[in-house]
Amino acid sequence: MDSVTTIAIASIITAGITTGIGTMFPALSEGKAVASALNSLAQQPDAAPTITRTLFVGLAMIESTAIYCFVVSMILIFANPFWNHIIAK
């Protein structure tokens, strides 16, 4: 195997692991956040607007982690900076 093939295989495997882990843990965190918010709403229904607003901001922050992992995996697959370095040699 030449170095370009090795870089391609490593990039594809890393992108798959990044996408798998990068979507699994934020999904679990979002579920835990929603469960905690529903528990808080059940205990204090009069604080619903504040809890809901805080929940949505927190969910956006958690989801941004998954989006960053997706972007990194797409860069590794389609715009890998290591390929240009190896091809230039």
Q: For the chain, what are the domain ranges?
A: 3-88
Instruction: Using alpha carbons, list the distances in angstroms from residue 17 to 10, 56, 62.
Output: 11, 28, 19
Domain 3-88 fold: F1FO ATP Synthase (1.20.20)
pTM above 0.85, yes or no: no
Q: What are phi and psi of 79, to 5 degrees?
A: -130, 50
CB 58, CB 26: distance < 8 Å: no
pLDDT by position in tens, the chain (length 89): 788 888 889 889 999 999 999 999 999 999 999 999 999 999 999 999 999 999 999 999 999 999 999 999 999 888 888 777 777 77
What pLDDT score was predicted for residue 49?
94
- Map residue 80 onto helix, strand or coil: coil
Integer-rounded Cα radius of gyration of the chain: 20
Q: What's residue 89's pLDDT?
A: 72
